[in-house]
Amino acid sequence: MPRYKLTLEYDGTPFVGWQRQDNGLSVQEAIETALEVLGGEKIRIRGAGRTDTGVHALGQVAHASLAKEWRTDVLRDGLNAHLRPLPVAILAAERVPDHFDARFSAVRRHYLYRIVNRRAPLTVTRGRAWLVKRKLDSGAMQDAARVLLGSHDFTTFRASQCQAENPVRTLERLDVVREGEDVHILASARSFLHSQVRSIVGSLEHVGSGKWSVADMRDALEARDRCRCGVVAPPEGLYLSAVDYDAPPAK
């Protein structure tokens, strides 16, 4: 069965997350339904990251093994036709080797978190960013971000229901970039714990607003205690922006 890599983006607002669930429509279910209508077969796909309810994606990756050969442009356009009017778009479809796995072949995942730092309410970015009205010191946030770089036990910054056996992760990038009222937090790692990015962002907000010092961030990390985490940032500001693989898949 030929295997295809799908690169996609979506607005996570109307979905219960990436993964199929009993309590509402997921992105995975929407794509699987479109594949069934298009090709007449029930398909299960696997995604590179299990985004939570309300979380968006600019470069999510999934793979699907299909019963027939498809021209990749026809597969892309056909899926997009059947996904309308849901806010999901297949950006690219590529033929890949049978051993390619969207989740397990990934070598790096990139996340973007968007904060709008102003007093006025959000309009065009409502549901797509976190409005923080308190003035944020992005320089202090960047200093605190450096504390978290590298390999650490991130127990403090993972959800209590996280199912990962090992809380150690290697954070390769964590940058705070400010342009006017927009504060973007960019995080990269091979893998992340459940709610790790949102937990880190909420704690960085504490530093930026003056509630915490950089030393407080270090103490929270070293405590390895979920109760020491700052507020968990809301899901609407988080985007899975890209997923890296060792080599371009074969066409």
Residue 77 annotated to the active site = no
Query: Running DSSP on this structure, what letter comes out for residue 122?
Result: P
Strands 168-179 and 182-189: antiparallel
Which spans in the chain are helix H?
27-39, 72-83, 138-148, 196-208, 214-223
Q: Which of 52, 153, 175, 219 is catalytic?
A: 52
Question: Using CA atoms, how far apart are residues 13 and 15, in angstroms rounded to an integer?
Answer: 6
Question: Using CA atoms, how far apart are residues 51 and 60, in angstroms rounded to an integer?
Answer: 9
- Residue 26: exposed, middle, or buried by beta-carbon count in 10 A (0-12, 13-18, 19+)? buried
Strand partners, 178: 183
Residues with catalytic roles: 52
